[in-house]
Structure 1
């Protein structure tokens, strides 16, 4: 591949400090886009997802996916040697992404001002639960708390049911995507100004930013949205509809699709009902409407209903579980899932990037690295000598992975990083 056709962020170096989702998922996007990601981890155990199952050959399966296309450097950031080594790495990096609790990096001597002193061009992105300032800033902030404080749990679930979070950690993931978007924008600006800046993205504000329908309603009428199950906030029918053997989601909210929907189900009488003249009116009478619709749909199977609606041109889809998703013929045809390599696990099936470029495709490299796999090569590429690296390891300020042959396995086993037995971990 020529440089012209390289991934869009090829040549950009990003340092990552953190764990779980916000920082690693943000840098995953940057890694897929071609940036070099140097993941700096605690030499004792690494970042927390390494201890999260399921495990394959002793390695975390989630970690191998969250951290593909990255390099692992094990540094004790609480030690003077580890901190100094990190600053030497930061001096030549383009971006730093971290999601420690606000103030934790500064307490280590690695806050934005500390790093800017060695690299004025650095783009320093901080992801946190509540932001770098404000009354909540110092509080622990996990995804479920952000969903709770951000209103998402108040509108998720059945009307008469318990509060529910979304099935995926949406605030963590959206925060990560905003971090990645902000970093790419800051890189564009940096190219013109030659200056870096600090980026502050929170789980809370990321979650609240998704409340587009709720904000329109509240700021216009003062009405507060509530739980509606699978239904839309203001239009109908736009929800899961019961069939004889399950549910089908439908979205018949335009005049054209509403007419096609009623015709396909032999419900033309609904077209004459003034209560259902438009999607907003239909929503106001949704209980009666859905009862009339399901009287017809429960006589059909999921497959029969989907076939009828697809022929009529009505947006619809059956509800798939993840065994259906991960074996989807459509996604298979589009080559969405792909296999990466790992020195211990072997082949790791990856979820693809949804970003598709006609000329500069995203990168499909190795699975998440074993802890400390790249300590020596990364440090030496930053100007360290082999003796300096050895001294850091001997002092416990750094660690290196040791891969040993596994008899009869045809591969390697990660024996873990070399380090002294009693070792103080950095702030997580």
Structure 2
């Protein structure tokens, strides 16, 4: 007789039941989460560089804001092409190359001596690399690996950027204040490079690569063949989507989202608080706390998106954000006080809560092309962010304060809330 290795059930006890192993999709989502956290270092730095670069090189805040605006614009404009490149070459290769480009651009800034070099290194190189690591990356992973729980997974992956901000902002602000901005740039480069082996070893492009089906799907989904003509496909999807009304409404609302977050608060909150006498480390810590509550708000938004109508969620999010920005100029002070803490919590919960319902609306209206359509919607987000990053610095140079920018952004958020409500429910089929 051969001895079995299975555990025997005792008399009167039910047979032992093996616990099912977690689906491979959750491991891929975990690797994606960690990857976005590691790459988030580069997005934490621009707001910390404005005052040090202004003091060392005597560049105007408008000039520095222009370099940041190029970075933000390319971050968005690269996203739809990156989504198409992932369909052609695979997620793993595109993300590994993008992280390497970010590291190179960040390292080169250490030796810059002229403003055009800041535009080239931080604006162009880091912008192109970060664009390939944009939210279209999260959308592509979610679309390929998940059929169920898409809203929740989208919220978690979107929150990864905020988690990275929470991890890196205090560290980078301390480095900038005590050792200068150059060690902070080197830290960003090393953070990006450290994630490359993780991506290359653990990330997989499609469930079929590991002989499994997407999470929540009862059937096996074959891996589609590589799609050639990435640039042509990205432009073709844009031209078809541009003939539909929901695309322009989603692009318009997301442009205002970018203007009121990355372009405004992420870039100008720290120097604005510094104008009122608050130390850079304290202001950066407040921004990091926004990142903490952003994680909570975005995951909750993903849960809500699975259960409630996305356009109504967007309207509520934009309205609440606009109200908070209108009060911000009255709250800036040399020290942290309770009303400012309330703003940080309130605004943080809303920071990128708009992403899960926006991706859900793209998926609802544009189906298989939704990741690329969202890439173009994200491009509008970053164009809005780029404009305000530049105009915010220009306004500070002209008016001596940021007040007018806060008020204008609050009004724009009110307009975005109205735009979200008029997005129609009927799905739009893109004609080939």
- Please give the range of the TM-score, normalised by the shorter of the 2 chains: under 0.3
Higher helix share: 2
What TM-score, normalized by structure 1, do the two folds share?
0.25
Higher strand share: 1
Which structure's CA Rg is the greater one?
1
Q: Structure with the greater relative contact order (CA < 8 A, sep ≥ 6): 1 or 2?
A: 2
